[in-house]
Structure 1
Amino acid sequence: MMNLSAANLTSRTRDGSGRAKGASSCGHRANARLTLRGKRQINRVEGGRRLVKSSSSSSSSSSASEFWLTEPLAARQPVNPDPSLINEDFKPTEESKRTFAASDVAALWIGLVISVPAYYLAGSLVELGMSWWQGILTVFVSNAIVLVPMILNAHSGTKYGVPFPVLTRAAFGVRGATIVGVLRGLVACVWFGIQTWVGGTSLLTLYEALVGPFSAAPIAFLGGITMPQFSFFMIFWLIQVLVLIKGIESIRIVEKYSAPILIGLSTALLIWAFWRANGIGPMLSATSQFGPGGAKEGQFMKVFLPSVTANVGFWSTLSLNIPDFTRYAKSQKAQLTGQAIGLPVFMALFSFLGVAVTSATTVIFGQVISDPVEVVSRIQGLTPTVLSLIGLMLATISTNIAANVVAPANALVNLAPRKVSFTKGAFITALLGIVTQPWRLLSSTEGYIFTWLIGYSALLGPIAGIIIADYFLVRDRTLDIDALYSTSGSYWYSNGYHFKAFLAMAIGVLPSLPGFINMAIPSVAVPKFFQTLYSCAWFVGFGVSIFAYLALTRE
């Protein structure tokens, strides 16, 4: 797709000598057509809101091809940016810093996918009554769905080289984008706390395996956890902070070199479960509780739908701020190929591990154990236990710093670009992760899946829908870079806020609100219709917000 300046467009209405055409009526008509075409192109460059229709089916086909694989990158430095809206972290990524090849993007996803919460999420499906194949199907369907907004949102980051907080200025306004960034960032802060708690628990288990168990009473004001648990939580927190102070490049390096180690250790855990369960048959012997005679006979869809939503919600956070990473991709082909391989393929494989090992625990230990840290702690032999726990900690670090730090750090930078750097934002994020007290959230499977994962997906689904609708359907994949960094450009709207976007977001969240209240406070009864809507919260919010935004912004 060509980006033409006003000067170039004007020159196209002239002949080779630079003299205006117009010797004949035919020339006048040609000139008029070219001038109209030029105005349309100028409108697009300036962030115009009309779709430019292709002149033929062949050009539409060519445009689609460019979009997915070969569309030229359009990153450039903004002209006269407002100093309050830009710093070194928020400038469009220069070509020399675009170091992410397809293999790097895939490695990023391997590091993200192989994590304790992802294992726990897959294993929880067995705990909720699914057989191994029902659990795998649920995860695969969910990730095939979330891959779509993931790739769509990644496009703008690759094309323009700017992070998520800057890109959202086009849809929500220059100031309004800070609200969206903070909402996304708060979710990530909670996730950072959850992952840090898991890593700290693994570190404590490793210490006890080497030295011996602690004996400590629960502390009431800490929510019932012991001082050793809290201490190792803080030690693991500090380890991650030391990695974060090195910046975004350290994240790429950690993901690249941890990926093969994590694959090897995950395979070893699967082999162990196969050996202890005496074969693949017993290993996958846990049957569905939804079949005839099962404890939950006929209730499969009641669990399947919210489980799909929870799995989509699991990655819905990253589907928003994926531009924070794809801005470093070498091309659209690199980000697309890396994501298409990294997310659905490795998530399905790792979910099989989580489901299979959890299913095997019913044979090995006589009970369903979906917590991988507890499973590893029961492995006989010091060496396997130590290696497994080190793998769990490496998996936690590789996921946490990439998925749960970049977004809130950038959101904080967006609040005050001149005062907050990425490193400062990352440190503040880490501090907020402590405040969230994640051990309370992980106290039950139902709270983890049905309240936390589905609850925040009801908020993030509408945001994703509005951003995608604005970029693809309203702006036809064309943004005005200068306006993204200006208080007087086309994205300033009403004093920096695009109220139509926020109204569309509220409309998207509203249908899921009664169901969320019922889930968080069971004593508050709501009609079954709203409970059903809540079980599909991300999908409802995503779809409703798109239609609402298009209706509100129709010219």
Structure 2
Amino acid sequence: METDHKSLAALDPTGRLYNEDLAPATERKWTSYSFFAVWMSAIHNIGTYTFVAGLFVIGLTGWQVLAAILIGTAILFFGMNWAGKMGQRTGVPFPVMARISFGIWGANIPALIRAVIAICWYGIQTYLASMAVVVLLLRIDPDLQQWQNQSFLGLSLLGWACFILLWILQLLVITRGMEAVRRFQDWAGPIVWAVMLGMAVWLLALAGWNIPMDLSINPLAGGDVVRGVLTGAFLLVATYATMLLNYCDFTRFAKSERSVIRGNFWGIPVNFAAFAAISITMTIGTVVVFGKAITDPALILAKVPDTFVLVIGAVMFIVATIGVNVVLNFVSPAYDLANVWPKHINFRRGGIISAVLALLVMPWNLYSNPVVVNYFLGGLGAFLGPLFGIMAADYFLINRGVINLRDLYRSDETGEYFFRKGFNPKAIAVFIPTAAIAAVMALVPALNAVAAFAWPVGLVLAGVAYYLAMGVAVKPDAIQVKPEAQLEPAE
């Protein structure tokens, strides 16, 4: 494959489309367990627990919460199989895949949107987990309060120490490459499971081994129940919609398409349902034991009287944060930034730049500003449905899985994906109005009842509009890309 990569590099004399990290993957080592581990890392975290607990707080019973989770994960499972197939068959990362529909330069539009979302949430997730560690450290050693009373740039000195610790640990993982990511995930997910099960057993014992799954603190009736379940299901899908765009960043390393599907099955519907069951059991347990629903697992852990358990819990939050951030918020911008300037930015440098930016935006200020979180990040998140709709319609309906792999790296105007000056005007023309519709649905207060459906509406609208705008046109000289495909030498 060395000669093949050289032939691709020769197609890009400008150095604006190719480097080794953006080239089709040559080593396919990821197994079903690798993708199962990806989903354990993405799911086993504070955010998922809080999401599940939040569905209970709005009025759903334990059983209804699980119904919402099962519907949402079923949709997510089939969507990720589609997204995973794109990466496994071509071996290319997300920003290169976006060149098929948006053009060789236009691909930077979806890539940078995804990167901005990921970098901001990377910082916010790190901050939230560091605050959980602060709570546990203060519980372990109250004398640390003196460092909590002093602040710098809006964050306490203890908060800074915990934030920088998590920031450095995550950087150590990502800068070692995708194989290091795979090895970390292989053991991180099960560790978090063990601690969550331990906390659940402790709460069950305090509750007298009786957790009423039909309990609701704000009972809903009739159509409100159905609406609540469906809202929860589509909110779940929207939460992980970022992965639909860039799942090919992971599946490009898959041994086979079957390994992706099996890993997705055990990692999404099965694992998510099990983790949700533990989370909702713990949430209901806090109502039984403490008289109120506690939606933050760190606050539950802080009530454990054993110091050793608290230390283990603090380590768990660190591992969980690294896991979810690497999967959802770190790998993608590393590739996305590399795509902007491949000649000088590789995967490792893209990861370092992402980490530095996540620090510089001071995420504690972002998180405390509802305008930023709800409107800026929420608006950008609404764009993801239309982006995936355009890419999926192009790959599966228009090109029918047949692409010209070599032309993804061809920078001259004879390339199939050059379109008009490197941009596909039809993709952009479809994206702007459909993204606007999705953003309005997600952000306008008067449309709160349908806000959770902004993602699927945007996806369908963009997919249909793009299909009609482009029509069915498979090039007769296109290369059929298969897992075992070999690139032909340059002419």
TM-score by length of 2: 0.87
CA distance in 2, matches of 1:400, 1:165: 19
What is the CA–CA distance in structure 2 between the aligned matches of 1:122 and 1:342, rounded to whole Å? 17
C-alpha contact 1:511 1:533 (8 A) present in aligned 2: no
| Paired amino acid for 1:484 | L
1:134 matches 2:60? no
Q: Is the 8 A contact 1:76 1:92 kept in 2?
A: no
Q: Does residue 482 of structure 2 align to residue 482 of structure 1?
A: no
Q: Which SS does the other structure have where 1:413 is aligned?
A: helix
Asked whether the 8 Å contact 2:383–2:438 carries over to 1, the reply is: no
Counterpart selection for 2:385 from 454, 457, 461: 461
Q: Does 1:111 align with 2:41?
A: yes
Distance 2:168 2:358 in 1: 12
The aligned amino acid for 1:140 is L
Give, in angstroms, the shift of residue 432 of structure 1.
Answer: 2.1
Q: Distance in 2 between matches of 1:340 and 1:311?
A: 16
Residue 370 in structure 1 maps to residue 310 in structure 2: no
Instruction: Render the CA deviation track for 1:204-262: whole Å, top value 9, x for unaligned.
Output: 2343243324144485952xx43322332122112211222211111111001223222
- Could you tell me how far apart the structure 2 residues matched to 1:393 and 1:207 are? 13
Change (3 A) 1:334 1:425: same
Deviation per residue, 1:254-301 (Å, 9 max, x gap)? 00122322222222122112112111335x463252336xxxx86445
1:287 corresponds to 2:216: yes
Tell me if structure 1 keeps the 8 A contact 2:133–2:314.
yes
- Does residue 1:544 correspond to 2:468, yes or no? no
SS at match of 2:107: helix
* Superposition CA RMSD, Å: 2.5
> 1:372 offset after TM fit, Å?
1.1
Determine the structure 2 residue equivalent to 1:5: none
CA shift for structure 1 position 350: 0.7
Structure 1 SS opposite 2:134? helix
| Matched residue type, 2:208 | N
Deviation digits for residues 135-161 of structure 1, max 9, x if unmatched?
Answer: 121122112112222111111211111
Shift of 1:453: 8.0
| Paired letter, 1:348 | A
Q: 1:147 and 1:449 mapped to 2: Cα distance?
A: 27
> Which residue identity does 1:170 align to in structure 2?
I
Match of 1:181 among 91, 96, 111: 111
Shift of 1:412: 0.3
Which residue in the other structure is 1:502 paired with?
Answer: 428
TM-score, normalised via structure 1 length: 0.78
Q: State whether residues 313 and 538 of structure 1, in contact with CA within 8 Å, keep that contact through their aligned partners in structure 2.
A: yes
**In the TM superposition, what are the counterparts of 1:10-89 in structure 2 within 5 Å?**
77=5, 79=8, 80-82=10-12, 83-89=15-21
Out of 356-365 and 474-483, give the one that drifted further.
356-365
Return closer, same or farther for 1:531/1:387 CA change in 2, 3 Å cut-off. closer
Q: How does 1:415-426 map to 2 (within 5 A)?
A: 415-426=340-351
C-alpha distance after superposition, 1:148-181 (max 9, x if no partner): 2211111121111111111110011000101110
1:261-340 alignment to 2 at 5 Å? 261-282=191-212, 284=213, 286-287=215-216, 289-291=218-220, 299-300=224-225, 303-340=228-265
Does structure 1 retain, via aligned residues, the 8 Å contact 2:211–2:284?
Answer: no
> Where do residues 348-367 of structure 1 align in structure 2 (5 Å cutoff)?
348-367=273-292
- Range moving further from structure 2, 75-84 or 449-458: 449-458
Whether contact under 8 Å (2:129, 2:318) holds in the other structure is yes
Aligned to 2:127: 197
1:553 corresponding residue in structure 2: 470
- Secondary structure (helix, strand or coil) at the match of 1:346 reads helix
* Structure 1 counterpart SS, 2:104: coil
Larger Rg: 1
Aligned-partner Cα distance in 2 for 1:113–1:470: 29
* One-letter amino acid matched to 2:303: R
Residue of structure 2 in register with 1:162 after alignment = 92
For structure 1, the residue ranges without an aligned partner over 5 or more in a row are 1-74, 520-527
Separation in structure 2 between the aligned mates of residue 318 and residue 202 of structure 1, nearest angstrom = 25
Give the equivalent residue in structure 1 for 2:418. 492
What SS class does the counterpart of residue 85 from structure 1 fall into? coil
What amino acid is the match of 2:409?
Y
SS of the equivalent of 1:538 reads helix
Higher relative contact order (CA 8 A, sep 6+): 2
**Separation in structure 1 between the aligned mates of residue 134 and residue 166 of structure 2, nearest angstrom:** 10
**Structure 2 unmatched runs, 5+:** 473-491
What is the Cα deviation at residue 342 of structure 1?
Answer: 0.8
Alpha-carbon separation, structure 2, partners of 1:219 and 1:387:
27
SS at match of 1:476: coil
Match of 1:347 among 272, 279, 282: 272
Instruction: Measure the CA separation in 2 of the matches of 1:516 and 1:260.
Output: 35
Distance in 1 of aligned mates of 2:58 and 2:365: 20
Q: 1:440 to 1:376 in 2, by over 3 A?
A: farther
| Corresponding position of 1:9 | none
Tell me whether 1:90 sits opposite 2:22 in the alignment: yes
